[in-house]
């Protein structure tokens, strides 16, 4: 699964003219392949979904009707500092609004649950691709599958207590207030 993915990332990168969006279909195919291999039949990956209350994440993973599994924010494979991206205003909005988010540069994947980093894995080395100008070998395939398991098997509680509902509404209200003030 990852061998083909990294080969396609490398090929796209090697062309020399690829932008972040150029890699989207490669990641979408990987996510769909994973969903099928893990027998998750009702998984839909929407690339560049319509705007949400927190902005425009690059991918939405959902069941095709109502339940959203999570969102993925992708940066170009040349972005080496995901720590800086993780504290950007954009990611702060996503992490405070969405309970299940992956941040990736197509080689490094970080899974956040309720705004907290709970898992991360690198499937290939950027240095090999960028500096050595070679296709990076696949790394940490099982850890990557484990991260995707955590992401895909997440679900929101079916019913909210008054307290959890109030907390969720407060997050969204705070975001909307900030947007109106801007």
Task: Tell me the domains of the chain and their CATH numbers.
Answer: 2-181 (3.90.1570)
Average pLDDT over residues 173-178: 64
Cβ atoms 99, 112 nearer than 8 A: no
Q: How high is the mean pLDDT of the chain?
A: 87
The beta strands (E) that lie in 22-154 are given as 44-47, 59-62, 68-74, 100-104, 108-113, 116-122
pLDDT band per the 50, 70, 90 thresholds, residue 172:
low
3-state SS assignment for residue 142: helix
pLDDT band per the 50, 70, 90 thresholds, residue 161:
low
Say if residue 157's pLDDT is above 60. no
């Amino acid at each position: 699964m990852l061998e083909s993915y990294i080969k396609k990332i490398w090929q796209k990168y090697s062309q020399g003219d690829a932008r972040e969006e150029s890699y989207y279909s490669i990641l979408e195919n990987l996510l769909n392949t994973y969903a099928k291999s893990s027998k998750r039949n009702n998984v839909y990956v929407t690339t560049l979904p319509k705007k949400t209350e927190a902005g425009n994440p690059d991918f939405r993973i959902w069941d095709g009707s109502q339940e959203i599994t999570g969102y993925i924010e992708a940066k170009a494979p040349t972005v080496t500092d995901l720590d800086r991206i993780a504290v950007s205003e954009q990611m702060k909005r996503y992490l405070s609004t969405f309970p299940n988010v992956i941040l990736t540069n197509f080689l490094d994947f970080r899974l956040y649950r309720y705004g907290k980093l709970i898992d991360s894995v690198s499937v290939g080395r950027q240095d090999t691709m960028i500096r050595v100008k070679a296709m990076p070998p696949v790394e940490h395939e099982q850890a990557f599958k484990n991260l995707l398991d955590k992401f895909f098997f997440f679900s929101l509680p079916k019913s909210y207590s008054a307290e959890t509902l109030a907390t969720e509404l407060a997050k969204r209200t705070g975001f909307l207030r900030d947007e109106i003030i801007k």
